[in-house]
Structure 1
């Protein structure tokens, strides 16, 4: 669903902008509003690891759009139902996790577009089509050309087939799950290991050469800087949960230190 008065994410990527966002794990619309007020470009609402119904996801997307922030839904699994509902609730992007075969990726990509570019079922009685208030051709054009199609690369096998994946025309962004890449080569969590970085760099360069945009999860501010210098344009910095937990730990440690000093 187009956010009124804004360029779409795809248009901004085409203009070579770097888009910054975060994953959202907690089912809390107020936190999404706060992230929008903070100036982030997008959130990735993580229904793979978060506790969301379809109604919850629609509310989270609606709140995000209400503060002029794009919402990408990370679907829980590669099914036609998950993809269709994520489009119908008005998300600006759909992110597909844990693909293990080229066939799965092709299936997902084709079900993010309407005929003649894909196989998504058509309906105008949805939020994405403004509950029938949207012109049907405008809605079809948006889904087929502006809805951001994001495929996650999270294992060594798919990392080795990037050239083939890039030939799937419906895909806009290859999003690198660095943590899972590290795990797939037996170096879980070692996101700055030279072997892990070489794989991430290889995916990035191949995707860019083939006209695809690249997204990535960044675990530190230093990684954000590094990936942006590589030309990666869609960068998700940790998650709102990690940001909150980090601040809680720091504040509580300071409070406990004051208490301990007073009790001496």
Structure 2
């Protein structure tokens, strides 16, 4: 499982999915990617299409982590009830938001996730709830996004409050904007800030993740000890492939 691979020190690579069609997941699952982020923050994916996408991920045997639109307990719980391998919560900036995310994503004694009863995640009620809740707490990936100057300043407290958080994921685009250097991904200030975040997160024994805008930056992030990296996204792969074909045909 994804969470156990991170705990074992493995490096994993995934991508983002914004096209709300199950076939896209089925195709990407054949590419060698380790996981897929189903992106509900940006793009047209809603709860009904997420349901179908998670079914496709399950059938394709690839972990699907849902980026929920925000810090909402109902949205977090719905994604997990439908069988997501985990959730990634965007724009976490403060200690109290870290606590809220944990409370929404974990069952007792770690949190207060809503008890759905019969749902996909617990075999539609065929599993003993206590055993299922313990397994969910143990295996569900909870990732929080660090993507602002405020979050960097609050990181020590967030790490202390986020004992039940598995992964702190850096969003370099929004972070660069917050630092006053929007989308200048090779800027020394951004790279130094990423290195600082990675060092602090790793010192607590937790995994650190990031989106890599280029393959070169991905390799640089690996060198910083980043284990969990996303590259491109479904639309980017589609666009790049089409452009490469046209370049070959017109060359």
Q: Could you state the TM-score of these two structures normalised by the residue count of structure 2?
A: 0.95
How big is the shift at 1:110?
Answer: 1.5
1:115 aligns with 108
Is the CA contact (8 Å cut-off) linking 1:112 and 1:143 kept in structure 2? no
* Secondary structure of the corresponding residue to residue 105 of structure 2: coil
CA distances 1:9-32 after superposition (whole Å, capped 9, x unpaired): 111111111111001111121111
Q: Distance in 1 between matches of 2:218 and 2:131?
A: 35
> For residues 92 and 103 of structure 1, what CA distance do their matches in structure 2 show?
24
Counterpart of 2:80 in structure 1 is: 87
- The Cα RMSD (Å) is 1.3
Paired residue for 2:93, among 76, 100, 116? Answer: 100
Distance, in Å, in 2 between the alignment partners of 1:161 and 1:147 is 25
Counterpart in 1 of 2:167?
Answer: 173
Question: Shift of residue 189 of structure 1?
Answer: 1.0
| Aligned counterpart for 2:14 among listed residues 18, 21, 26 | 21
> Which residue number corresponds to residue 183 of structure 1?
177
Q: Is the 8 A contact 2:21 2:49 kept in 1?
A: no
CA contact (8 A) 1:32 1:63 kept: yes
Structure 1 unmatched ranges of 5 or more:
1-7, 259-264
Q: Which runs of 4+ in 1 moved over 6 A?
A: none
Instruction: Name structure 2 gaps, 5 residues minimum.
Output: none
Equivalent residues of 2:35, 2:64 under 8 A apart? yes
**Matched ranges for 1:1-264 at <5 A:** 8-167=1-160, 168-255=162-249, 257=250
CA distance in structure 2 between the aligned counterparts of 1:71 and 1:160, rounded to whole angstroms: 30
TM-score (norm 1): 0.91
Tell me, in whole angstroms, the C-alpha distance in 2 between the residues paired with 1:252 and 1:105. Answer: 46
For residues 175 and 164 of structure 1, what CA distance do their matches in structure 2 show?
16
- Determine helix, strand or coil for the equivalent of 1:216: strand
Secondary structure of the corresponding residue to residue 121 of structure 2? coil
For this pair of structures, how many residues does the alignment match? 250
Q: Counterpart of 1:76 in 2: which secondary structure?
A: coil
**Contact 1:19–1:234 (8 Å) recurs in 2:** yes
SS in 2 for 1:95: strand
Larger Cα Rg: Structure 1 or Structure 2? 1
